Amino acid sequence: MILVLEKEITQDQKNNIRSILFREGYIVREMSEAGQNIIGAVGKGDKKTGFFEALPGVAKVVSISTSFKLVSRQLHTEDTRVQVGDVVVGGERITIVAGPCAIESREQALTIAREVKRYGAVLFRGGAFKPRTSPYSFQGLQEEGLKILAEVREVTGLGVVTEITSPAQADMMMKYVDVVQVGARNMQNFELLKCVGRIGKPVVLKRGLSSTIEEWLMSAEYIMSEGNYDVILCERGIRTFEDYTRNTCDLSAVPALKELTHLPIIVDPSHGTGVRSLVTPLAKAAVAVGADGLIIEVHPNPGEAFSDGAQSLLPQQFELLMDWVRKLSALENKAL
Ligand code: PEP
Ligand code: MN
């Protein structure tokens, strides 16, 4: 529920409201929305809304009608901006994250990072723990890969994004990276969601392969209910009957999510299509439907890539994609 506070509320009244909410087991978030002070309270206390409405300092109580609460735009009408170092995701800008599918070596990572930075990427991606369909496929360089990511940040100044596949990796993630990614296959790994909710790092939450928008938002709710509000949603394509593309990139999810949630949403047209020639067209469309950013796989030698070569752009193709993104962002009144 949302408690809209009276303009003349005193600090004592506010403290009293907060302590009652805590006592009743609510998660409490205090915000200012369109000039009004509000308290968002989420939980399953058994007191009726009338009880809270009667508290001194409360002007009115509005209940949140959706199953996701902290994530809901009803609770927080303004767009959330997630800060990663000096990069902001959300609001009036388009954030470009780029890099290889997997960190393969120090040279590979540094070469790609320098290229994508030159063309306008502001965050670097690269998997160190790779969730692969086959146990015989490359599983990632693991901690060695994370150390390379930390070096990429050191050398290029780019914040780094990588996938966490188990709560056991949390300490390593804290040490080496700026943003943790929860991959599509783990979108409903609830212990992992609670874990990333507790660690103090922004999270990219990818949409599950067969997940509905509501299930995806409930997963974001898991993270937020643990106290981490820095959640970025990532549409990366869903499973449909179509098998010409690796996945079906559901771009309608972007404007739908804009209505339902205040969280930023980025699009991954690399996994969304699985086909190199389709990545730029889908990236253009993603910007046009209101995405807050893109995550793009880039590799200088895709034929030799350890994973996802078929969907990786060459650096020159990434440069052309960035030219488009620059033009289209201007049309959307957004900065890069
Ligand atoms: C990735 O980003 O390389 C990845 C494995 O993504 P997803 O979880 O969307 O398949
Ligand atoms: Mn990949």
**Residue 68 — very low, low, confident or very high, per pLDDT cuts 50/70/90?**
very high
275 CA to centre of ligand 1 in angstroms? 14
The pTM of the whole model exceeds 0.85: yes
pLDDT in tens, 262-281: 999 999 999 999 999 999 99
Instruction: Assess whether the C-beta atom of 271 lies below 6 angstroms from ligand 1.
Output: yes
In this predicted structure, the answer to whether residue 296 has a pLDDT above a threshold of 80 is yes
Q: Which residue has its alpha carbon closest to ligand 1 atom 8?
A: 183
The pLDDT value given to residue 31: 85
Q: Which residue has its alpha carbon closest to ligand 1 atom 4?
A: 183
Beta bridge partner(s), residue 96: 294
SS3 sequence of the chain: CEEEECCCCCHHHHHHHHHHHHHCCCEEEEEEECCEEEEEEECCCCCCHHHHHCCCCEEEEECCCCCCCCCECCCCCCCCCEEECCEEECCCECEEEEECCECCCHHHHHHHHHHHHHHCCCEEECECCCCCCCCCCCCCCCHHHHHHHHHHHHHHCCEEEEECCCHHHHHHHHHHCCEEEECHHHCCCHHHHHHHHHCCCCEEEECCCCCCHHHHHHHHHHHHHCCCCCEEEEECCECCCCCCCCCECCCCHHHHHHHHECCCEEECHHHHHCCHHHHHHHHHHHHHCCCCEEEEEECCCHHHCCCCHHHCECHHHHHHHHHHHHHHHHHCCCEC
328 CA to centre of ligand 2 in angstroms? 25
Instruction: Assess whether the C-beta atom of 184 lies below 6 angstroms from ligand 1.
Output: yes
In this predicted structure, the answer to whether residue 10 has a pLDDT above a threshold of 90 is yes
Q: What is the mean pLDDT of residues 3-16?
A: 94
Instruction: Assess whether the C-beta atom of 206 lies below 6 angstroms from ligand 1.
Output: yes
In this predicted structure, the answer to whether residue 147 has a pLDDT above a threshold of 80 is yes
In this predicted structure, the answer to whether residue 238 has a pLDDT above a threshold of 80 is yes
Those residues whose C-beta lies under 8 Å from the C-beta of residue 333, and which sit 6 or more positions away, are 92
Q: Which residue has its alpha carbon closest to ligand 1 atom 3?
A: 101
In this predicted structure, the answer to whether residue 237 has a pLDDT above a threshold of 90 is yes
Contacts 24+ apart (CB under 8 A), 189-195: 190/222, 191/167, 192/164, 192/165, 192/166, 192/167, 193/219, 193/222, 193/223, 193/226, 194/222, 194/223, 194/226, 195/164, 195/167, 195/170
- Ligand index nearest the alpha carbon of residue 266: 1
- Ligand index nearest the alpha carbon of residue 279: 2
In this predicted structure, the answer to whether residue 34 has a pLDDT above a threshold of 90 is no
100 CA to centre of ligand 2 in angstroms? 8
**Residue 33 — very low, low, confident or very high, per pLDDT cuts 50/70/90?**
confident
Torsion angle defined by CA atoms of residues 249, 255, 257 and 263, in that order, rounded to the nearest 10 degrees: 100
Q: Which residue has its alpha carbon closest to ligand 1 atom 9?
A: 184
Residue % of the chain over a pLDDT of 90: 93
Q: What is the mean pLDDT of residues 203-231?
A: 97
Instruction: Assess whether the C-beta atom of 183 lies below 6 angstroms from ligand 1.
Output: yes
In this predicted structure, the answer to whether residue 98 has a pLDDT above a threshold of 90 is yes
